[in-house]
Amino acid sequence: MAIRLIAIDIDGTLLNQKREITLRVQQAVRTVNQRGVAIILATGRPFIGIQRYLKELELNRDDQYCITNNGALVQNVVNGESLLEVLLTFDDYLYCEYLSRVLNVHFQAFSKKEMFTSNKDISKYTVREAWMTGIPLRYCDVSDMDSNLMFPKLMMIDSSECLDSAVASLPIEVFKQFNIMKSAPCYLEILNKRVNKGFSLSFLAKKMGLNRKEVMAIGDQENDLAMLEYAGTSVAMGNSIDVVKEAAKFVTNSNQEDGVARAIEEFLET
């Protein structure tokens, strides 16, 4: 069955180590999209953090969609309007922020438009996230937070050693209450229990009248596993972590070697 939708992770997949889309990848994506294959950028980033790439790939049209915040939001790429949103509550924020202090790791929370940290010693990883995505960063003490806020995702962020130690110490209740996954060695994502990229990719496929056999997904990290498991054609990048390579049906080149372009060229004969 022909592939009619391709979901592509951004960091470590679409982008090379310089956070650029290479010319070969750009051309491959544009070519199949012009032929009628839907391209969905599926990322842990917030909407503001992907707009430049949507423009580069000529996907910034009203008939295009994207998956952001690891699946918490499905959005129209032109205006950011949500087709689907599954959010965390303010009580979830309070609980996870408290846990971060108990475990002695840094913490950040995302609304749809801002990133908040309650850490006076703002983590370098939080600063990096704000710089990389362009999302406004605010320090805000817990007592000053707007209790009406809802959150696409929360994050514990720190060195890989600190974060691994914290994960090992998380109460079992946390895993029952939330979807917990790593998107990078220093990033632990905390989502609504129902949320992952596969959940949102399935939603979009059904909206477009497609079945999973018509879907390809390409990724490299733990937060990509759910969409790789959903897609009929699952492709791991050559730079993927081992568990992703084991889960995918195929392995392409690394993000330094135009892996996305190679996968598209092989399966769609561009």
Active-site amino acid positions: 9
Work out whether the CA dihedral 64, 44, 241, 92 comes out positive or negative.
negative
The C-alpha atoms of residue 159 and residue 157 are separated, in whole angstroms, by 7
Q: CA–CA separation, 241 vs 220, rounded Å?
A: 6
Residues recorded for the chain: 270
Would you call 52 helix, strand, or coil by DSSP? helix
193 by DSSP, 3-state: which?
coil
The closest of 10, 1, 2 to 227, measured between CA atoms, is 10
- Token couple for 248: 């995918």
Q: In this structure, how many other beta carbons lie within 10 angstroms of the beta carbon of residue 222?
A: 19
How would DSSP label each residue in 146-178?
-TT--BSEEEEE--HHHHHHHHHHS-HHHHHHE
Report the alpha-carbon distance of residue 38 to residue 57 in Å, rounded: 12
- Type of residue numbered 3: I
Own/partner pairs for 91-95, CB < 8 Å, 24+ apart? 92/151, 92/154, 92/177, 92/178, 92/190, 93/145, 93/149, 93/151, 93/154, 94/142
* CB-facing half-sphere around the CA of 162: CA atoms within 13 A: 16
